[in-house]
Structure 1
Amino acid sequence: MIPARAQELLLRFHVSRESWPALEAYVALLERWRSRINLIGPGTGDDIWIRHIVDGLQIIPLIRPGTRGFADLGTGAGIPGLPLALATGLAGHLYESNQKKLAFLREAIRMTGASCQLHGGRIEALTPADIPAEIGLVVSRALAPLTELLDLARPFLIRGCQALFHKGQHIDRELTEATKCWKLDHVIHPSAIDSAGVILEVKEATHVRR
């Protein structure tokens, strides 16, 4: 059962009720597997819904119209990518190198029917030619400091992808450092879930020399 507060927020972020059973199946699987491998931190079922599922899905209203697919870099347990695919119907490309987490993700995709493809190689090895044409958005949550994250996302940004990154309270410091080598057209959106967090929207990014 989805907690009442989570239901309110899902509706606020345009997540239709039709996708809720699949989201519930994903959360149930996540709860079963997290005692076996390190997928997410400790917490109750309510914590999972608010701190992970809803937090990841709050980016939906920010996605550019016409987007057909997205990449989730360092997806880990599949958040936000797998719930995002379930909630929007967009084609998800989940990038994760940990084999145990990939095993979980394969099972989660099988159980939920999410429109996701798994990519198990190192993100650092990607080139623009490796990026599927349908990807118009790159997302990431708790993967790396912004400068490193932009470097990892560079093949996608070169292709003109929008980026929506979950970031924390040090965003100003990270932006100061990142803009030493990146020219960014960006917007900072306050997080609706974490009072200290933000969603960094990068509309356009150009790498420049230091």
Structure 2
Amino acid sequence: MTEVSRETRERLQVFADLLTKWNARINLISPRDLPQLWPRHIEDSLRLVPFIPKGERLIDLGSGGGFPGLILGIAAEAKVVLIESDQRKAAFLREAARQCGVEAQVMAMRIEAAKPEPAKFVTARALAPLTQLLAWAQPLLQPDGVALFLKGKNLPAELTEAQCFWHMTHRILNDPRAASDGAIIEISGIKRVE
């Protein structure tokens, strides 16, 4: 379990309770995942905290139920831009940010239509293949920015495909505490292959 302060754990519990309540009405996570909410979703998102400086601004793609964006807003005190096209999920994100005391801007639109000010960090979890994530992230990153993606066991194949379309610097940040077969990939210097 990731070490967080008592206050952070309490704010994460407020988030978990709210997600559980809203999940009965809208599908934020699979109902079969609810018993595993902490290890599968919250703890998995917390794996990014060591890579986000406290109070940093970040853009989270396809925020859905708040993973990892809202969790980083709580645990890293990040200022988050949450991009989510589903209006009902966007309403949940606004309410969860309010109740958890997260400085958040929720953009209820498709990622390619969103034009927030570029950020130092762009994050995503369980959203799309790496090639597509890079296409979305590249215009949203500052020139020295870093993309941090939580990816599953298909990462090696996705990386091989992405390198056909994108120049990038990357490193795989494996975490022995991970509850899944997944890894974090850190990517910078993203440029489309000419």
Instruction: Using structure 1 for the length normalisation, give the TM-score.
Output: 0.85
| Residue in 2 that maps onto 1:58 | 47
Q: What's the % identity of the aligned pairs?
A: 42
| Structure 2: unaligned runs, 5 residues or longer | none
Task: Please state whether the residue corresponding to 2:2 is helix, strand or coil.
Answer: helix
Cα offset for 1:190? 1.8
2:188 match: 203
Task: Give the one of 10, 16, 24 matched to 2:2.
Answer: 10
CA–CA separation in structure 1 for the residues paired with 2:89 and 2:174:
30
Q: 1:132 aligns with which of 113, 117, 142?
A: 117
String of CA shifts for 1:140-197, please: whole Å, max 9, x gaps: 0011001011111121246332111011111111111100111110001224324421
Pair 45,136 (structure 1): closer, same or farther in 2 beyond 3 Å: same
Q: What TM-score, normalized by structure 2, do the two folds share?
A: 0.92
Q: Is the 8 A contact 2:74 2:102 kept in 1?
A: yes
CA–CA separation in structure 2 for the residues paired with 1:193 and 1:71: 23
Look up the match of 2:82. Answer: 94
| Residue identity matched to 2:74 | L
Secondary structure in 2 matching 1:161: strand
Letter of the structure 1 residue corresponding to residue 59 of structure 2: A
In the alignment, residue 187 of structure 2 is paired with which amino acid?
Answer: V
Deviation at 1:132, TM superposition (A): 2.4
Which stretches of structure 1, 4 residues or more, deviate above 6 A after TM superposition?
A: none
What is the Cα deviation at residue 115 of structure 1? 1.3
Deviation by residue 1:86-115 (Cα, 9 ceiling, x = unmatched): 111110110001011011112112211111
Alignment of 1:143 with 2:163, yes or no, is no
Show the 5 A alignment for 1:48-197: 48-63=37-52, 65=53, 68-126=56-114, 130-132=115-117, 135-157=119-141, 159-191=143-175, 192-197=177-182
Root mean square deviation of aligned Cα: 1.8
Is contact 2:84–2:109 with CA below 8 Å preserved after alignment? yes
| CA drift at 1:45 | 5.4
Letter in 2 for 1:207: R
Aligned equivalents of 1:158, 1:110: Cα separation in 2? 27
Number of residue pairs aligned between Structure 1 and Structure 2: 193
Measure, in 2, the Cα distance between the counterparts of 1:123 and 1:198. Answer: 23
The amino acid that maps onto 2:5 is S
